[in-house]
Structures are given as C-alpha cells and as structure tokens.
Structure 1
Amino acid sequence: MNKEVKELDLIIIGAGPAGLTAAIYASRAKLNMLLIEDAIVGGQVRSSYTIENYPGFKKVEGGTLADLMQEQAQELGAEIDEFDMVERVQFSDSEKIVETSSYIYKPKAVIISTGAVPRKLPIANEEKYAGKGVHYCAVCDGAMYEGKTVGVVGGGNSALEEALFLSRFAEKVILVRRYDYFKGEKATLDEVLNHPKIEVMYNWDLVDVNGAEFMEKAKIKNTLTGEEKEIVMDAVFGYIGTEPKTKLFKDYINLNPQGYILTDENMRTNIKGVYGAGDVREKAFRQITTAVADGTISALDAEKYIVESKRVK
C-alpha cells in the first residue's frame, strides 16, 4: 500500500512538557504542524504524583499539569496524533522525512522531544520479575502493594519522591542507597528521613531479587564491607537514571556516548532544521522547567528557520 505524502511546516516527535510547549509556540505562530506521540500525552510528568517546583503552582498533580498543557496546545490549534508510532526517519539539511504507519510526512523542520525512559535495574532476575515485583513507576503500580514492604533504589529526587508516595500504600518502604549521601533536594530528603514508614539503608546496593511466581526477597550488598544478605521485600522500584529514546535518530543526529542528542544553546542539532528538546538532549539538569525552556527555544528557532526556507523558495 502506498502511503499518502503530506507536506507541512513542522513535526514535533514526543508530547512531554518540551513537545507540548513547542506545540503551543508553533500554534501561536500559525505554523502547519503536527505533534506525534507513541504513548499517552504528557510524558514522565503524567506519572509524577505531586509536583511542587513548577512556577505558578504551589502543588499540582502530574496528570493535571499534563492535561492543562495539552488543553492549552489544542485550544491554540495544535494537532496531536496520540498513540502513533514513528517507523522511520530520514534527515538531511535539504529534506526531512518522518514516516508513520499511515503517512509519510515531509516537514520543513523537526523537533525531537522523545524524552527518556527509566534505566532498568542491572540485576539478573530483572526480566523474570518485571511487573511481578520489579517496577519503575510508583504512581502506576504502587497501589498493588497496600500493606506490603517495598524497596526503592536510587539517590536522586525521583527516588526520594517515589519513596514518599509509596509510603501512602506500603507498610514499610526501604530506600536502598549505594552511597552515604543523596543528590536530591534537602527539603524532600528531610521529609524522607523523618518519615516513620521509611527506612534508609546507606552504603547498600541491590544485587538481585528472588521469589516464586512473584518477588519475595531482595539480595543486597554492603558497598563498604562486601557483606551480602537477603531481606523480605514484596517489590522494588528502580530510579537509577534514565536512557534517552534516540535509537530512531542515531544514523542522522550526533549523540553523546550515553545516547543523548547534542545541541547548541538554540536546540539546533548537526542537521539544519532538526532540533532536540527536553530530557532527550545532553544537559546538566533535567526538570520540567528546563524541558519547557527547551521547547520554547526550539519552536522559536524553528519558526525562523521555516520562514527563511520559504523565502528561499
């Protein structure tokens, strides 16, 4: 079957905060644009239970914030294609092709805002107990462990925040930290350390998990002494970093050794008219606010690029 070819100004791939912000600015500029998302709109923000560091909101649920961003973009005229998979891309300075299961798009510019996914725990039985005790989203799966003992592995804000969220359901939350410090915000850390249902295990690392059909125990190792032991644990939630969703673009876009997109301060990649924005690009800090800033800059620069390309013709 021959697919219909559609030409348009801009395609945004990925509908997290960066992509939605870019869609808002592109729509305000009256660009003929399309936002493509292979899952649910909102990205990682939607799986955040409570957000307390986004300007204008003292406290807001992640799903609510994602809905507001989506609503604003669509009211401005943004077209969003949800649950659609990009099958192939082909980028050059002179031509951009984005192919989905239904269409072949030829945009003048592309913004890549595909984000990142949680890095899997490096344990032998990760796949065996995936969804059966090994998880990466407390908001998604935490309610399954009402009255149980669960573990959280990680040392950043995500690990701290999810430990607090899981304490709403679990009888006990064990926070396993391989070092003697955390990298999260002090206010959040203080709340964790003072919570009666949360136990912090400094200088311990998760080695593996075991059980019958479902996870029942965690094997941990002391990073200072080498001591190993098993503890009863019904589930473990991993927050050890993220991996960028860039496999589709690696043949065209310059990436760093970890797979993140390399851009300049205007979000430009090595291909003219192709931008990287949000958690998918190399940068020091990955926050909702920095993703929104990336989306803003990429859309504004893309608009200039599109206008100039039309003048050339």
Structure 2
Amino acid sequence: MTKKYDVIVIGAGPGGMTAALYASRSNLSVLMLDRGIYGGQMNNTAEIENYPGFKSILGPELSEQMYASSIQFGAQFAYGTVSDVEDHGDYKTVKTDDGDYDSKAIVIATGAEHKHLNVPGEDQYSGMGVSYCAVCDGAFFKNREVAVIGGGDSAVEEGLYLAQLASKVTIVHRRDQLRAQKILQRRAFANDKIDFVWNAQVEEIVGDGQKIENVKYRDKVTGEEKLLPASGVFIYVGIEPMTDAFKNLGVLNDAGWIETNEETHTKVPGVFAVGDVREKHLRQIANAVGEGGLAGQAVFEYLQELGDKTETATTK
C-alpha cells in the first residue's frame, strides 16, 4: 500500500531539514527522503565558520544538531533514491527504489553535486587518489604532495584544510586569478605550504595503474604540456543540480536548475524547492535554512488553501 503524507521533503540537507521542521511544527505529516545520510554537503565539510550562532563548528556535528531539531515535532526520515515524481493535481506520487509515496505537496531539496573534469585517469583513479572530498580522504595523504583543481571557494577552503595534512598543496586553476572570497584568498596566499599553477588546463591524471603520480596539464599561455607531481588530486570545478528525477514535472530551466519565486513556489502548484537545487547566486547553509523556513510555511498555507477549495467543492 502506498504511504501517504501531507508533505514529502526530498533531500535532507540544511534546507530540507528546516522545511521538515517548519512543516511538522504546523502539525503536518512529513516524510524526509534522502539517498544517503542526512546533512548533505555539510558532512563533507571540516569546519563551518559562517553559520550564525557558531564561531566554528564541524560539518557533521551541525548535521546532527539540525537533524535532531528537524524530527522533534514528528517528521519522519527514510532512505530512498527518487526516480520520478508524478503530478496528479491535488496530490503527487513520489517513486523510489523502495516503493511509492503519495503527498499533497513536495519540497525538492536534493542539492547539487561536484562536476567532473572528464579527463583520462579521473574515473580510473577515483577512490585511488582522485577525490571530491578533502575531509573524507585528506588523512590518506598526510605528509605527501597533493593537487587541488579549481579556483572557487570550495577549492581554496579544501586546499587550506589539506595544508594541515599534506607536505605541499598545489592549487591548479585554469584562470590567472582565484574566484574565491578575498578572505580565503588571503589565507591561501599566506600559507607557506600552498602553491599555485595558473592558466592550466588539466588534460590527464597520470599513474602507474595503482596510484597517482602526476597531473598532466597544458599551459594555456605557452601551449606547453607539463607534469605536476601529486599523490592525490582533489577536484572542485563547479557543481550541477541533482534534478534528473524531476524532468517530467516541468520545473527545470535549460541548465537543469529549479526556478522558484521568493516564497519557494515553483510554477507547479504544490511543488516547492529550496537550497542548492534552486537557480540562484549564493549557495550557502544560511540561505538554504532561510529558504527551508519559507517553504515549510508556504506548504502549510498551500494545504490550507487546498483544503478550502476541497471543502467548497464538496458543499456545492
């Protein structure tokens, strides 16, 4: 039998957990679904320094605290990979690898994932030196040389983290200057263990079949191919939305992001979106939490209106 809820929150990162908190606090039946552990990208972050209320907190610790808060008013959590969502008007069917669920509203909070370089050696050495999570794998490279590919906030933050473990960190960037926040740039430039390679187009991750030895890149100015010695390669070259399951809903833009209004409504009634999956400029924990609060309240108001419409139709 298909289980039924007032609202299903798909994704249990900071935005999803906050939406579940607000919706359940309004006495709605709430299910949070996630393909992995609650917390999302916070679990891959060593220290979080820009979330109000904490001068600094470990990502997994903040995940635990948010989760405890999110379920205190009765919201349930379940594992499940969502494959599709069917819109039946006044209710939606969420299809997963562990069965189907019906709800009157859904909140999409599936976030985004790291892009790949798509160069030779990347897939071959994934888990054998290629990583997208310094917190997860940095300890394997203690006192060894590593490369970080990218120039944004994530690349520099994780480079700083790795500098506590590795003997040397080289940040390889395709441009001639970083895109990261200035405070992160200052920290990186001041760290003696961090070096930089500019105007570099990574062409291959080279190894001996068992482990990584070098990063091959082309100097975009001179055209020369060069080798950078590295035992580990950490890739941070952008993110893409995790929205494949929602293609049939008609809520995605051409790039795959979900567009909403300021109250987190999509163009489909009863479908809301929060967090990194939305089309927006800033993707941070703080604004995901704010959006989650908006969505939780918006869901309550939507269901109130839906109930009024049903009652009116019944009395006619």
TM-score, length of structure 2 as denominator length: 0.94
Shift of 1:306: 0.9
User: Are 2:249 and 1:252 equivalent residues in the alignment?
Assistant: yes
Residue in structure 2 matched with residue 196 of structure 1 by the alignment: 192
Residue in structure 2 matched with residue 63 of structure 1 by the alignment: 60
Residue in structure 2 matched with residue 266 of structure 1 by the alignment: 263
> Unmatched 5+ residue regions in structure 1?
none
Residues 1-313 of structure 1 mapped to structure 2, 5 A cutoff: 4-81=1-78, 83-212=79-208, 213-313=210-310
Shift of 1:205: 2.6
Provide Cα deviations, 1:33-64, integer angstroms capped at 9, x if missing partner.
Answer: 10111101000011110111111111111111
Provide Cα deviations, 1:149-193, integer angstroms capped at 9, x if missing partner.
Answer: 100011111101100111121111000011122121211111111
**2-side partners of 1:27 and 1:58: how far apart?**
29
**1-side partners of 2:59 and 2:199: how far apart?**
31
Letter matched to residue 29 of structure 2: N
Checking the alignment, whether the CA contact within 8 Å between 1:5 and 1:103 is kept in structure 2 is yes
Residue in structure 1 matched with residue 313 of structure 2 by the alignment: none
The number of residue pairs the alignment matches comes to 309
| Aligned partner of residue 107 in structure 1, secondary structure | strand
Could you tell which deviates more after superposition, 166-175 or 200-209? 200-209
**2-side partners of 1:182 and 1:92: how far apart?**
47
Letter matched to residue 141 of structure 1: D
**2-side partners of 1:123 and 1:21: how far apart?**
38
| Aligned partner of residue 294 in structure 1, secondary structure | helix
| Aligned partner of residue 250 in structure 1, secondary structure | helix
Specify whether residues 74 and 254 from structure 1 end up closer, same or farther in structure 2 by C-alpha distance, changes over 3 A only: closer
Checking the alignment, whether the CA contact within 8 Å between 1:134 and 1:236 is kept in structure 2 is yes
**1-side partners of 2:178 and 2:293: how far apart?**
31
Letter matched to residue 176 of structure 1: V
Checking the alignment, whether the CA contact within 8 Å between 1:154 and 1:240 is kept in structure 2 is yes
**2-side partners of 1:102 and 1:186: how far apart?**
45
**2-side partners of 1:6 and 1:132: how far apart?**
41
Shift of 1:127: 1.1
Letter matched to residue 140 of structure 1: C
**2-side partners of 1:221 and 1:55: how far apart?**
42
Shift of 1:230: 0.9
> Unmatched 5+ residue regions in structure 2?
311-316
Provide Cα deviations, 1:112-170, integer angstroms capped at 9, x if missing partner.
Answer: 00001110123122111111121100011111111111000111111011001111211
The CA RMSD measured in Å over matched residues stands at 1.3
| Aligned partner of residue 75 in structure 1, secondary structure | coil
Shift of 1:290: 1.5
TM-score, length of structure 1 as denominator length: 0.95
Moved over 6 A (4+): none
**1-side partners of 2:102 and 2:75: how far apart?**
18
**1-side partners of 2:77 and 2:4: how far apart?**
16
Specify whether residues 94 and 74 from structure 1 end up closer, same or farther in structure 2 by C-alpha distance, changes over 3 A only: closer
